[in-house]
Amino acid sequence: MLKGVKYDDACEPKQAVAVANQIVNDGVQFVVGHLCSSATQPASDIYAEEGILMITPASTSPTITEAGYETVFRTIGRDDAQGPVAGRFIAEHIKPENMAIIHDKQQYGEGVATAVRDTVEEAGIDVAVFEGITAGQQNYSSLVSKLKRENVDFVYYGGYHPELGLILRQAKELGFDAQFMGPEGVGNPDISKIAGEASEGLLVTLPQAFETDPKNADLVAAFEAKNQDPSGPFVMPAYTAVYLMAEGMKATESTDPFEVAEYLHQNTSDTPIGEVKYDESGDLEEFNFVVYNWHADGTKTKAETGEAQSDTAQ
């Protein structure tokens, strides 16, 4: 029987190292996490060195798996897949006249923003503004004023929901009405609590809505019976991470992380997020990101032209 133990790294790299070391000291051998790429990266170094199997359901930075660790996996796609999905959608369906790309200067945010920039520029779209902000600020009025001066009509933001929520709210207050788009890190109901009506119409790339798949109906019912929301972007990937660990243990009749890792590398599994097959780096061979319209009530609907999906995680 698997027993879950919770740890909190606060999405901070230094805290993630402390948490990883605590996990080592506690004798934990399997980790579902971490959430933020900048925290997952240093933690994964420790897990690999200590022979702990880690599956992150949320960290999308390519560098995490490019380290080549045998016991590091993910159940979500990479930013070099997510960024191009957003970029192609922008180029094919938005076609902005004056585009800005803003990021939070962190591993995840700047990485996905750079992938979007490269994709739209390859499609012939000029990026008028590409710059970083300082995460954790409360006032982004100077940024909004600059975007207004530059006559920006579309903004892509690479980062997390707290900062974009404030930017959206302050943009509305200052009369800046450009359309915004962001990655799965902004697709959190709390962004609507921060931005209110200003979050209506935000475009977001997210994993497909696995909770709507009929084959997951019983699992969804089990979540709802516990008053838990199955619709979060990382819920099914996180559940799948545990599922894969358990499947590997049963198949190998072992709790040795290296034996389970070898099983995951060599076998294909039918899971709540679909068929899971890993490449040698621990990345999914296939994973789709889908474009959604975000609504002020914290819900989402698939964009009418949201079929611009990624085919692989590479």
Structure confidence by residue, pLDDT tens digits, 66-114? 999 999 999 999 999 999 999 999 999 999 999 999 999 999 999 999 9
CA distance 101 to 180: 10
Least confident of 75-89, 191-205, 280-294, 299-313: 299-313
Q: DSSP string spanning 179-190?
A: EEEE-GGG--TH
pLDDT of residue 305: 67
Helix spans in the chain (H): 13-25, 37-50, 63-66, 79-89, 107-122, 141-149, 161-173, 190-195, 217-225, 235-252, 257-266
**CA 78, CA 171: separation in Å to the nearest integer?**
30
pTM, 2 dp: 0.90
From CA 206, how far away is CA 201, in angstroms rounded? 15
Q: Percentage of residues in the chain with pLDDT exceeding 70? A: 97
**Residue 235 scores a pLDDT above 90:** yes
Q: Which pLDDT does position 311 carry in this prediction?
A: 42
* Cα 245 from Cα 2, distance rounded (Å): 10
Provide the 3-class DSSP secondary structure of residue 92. helix
Report the residue count for the chain: 314
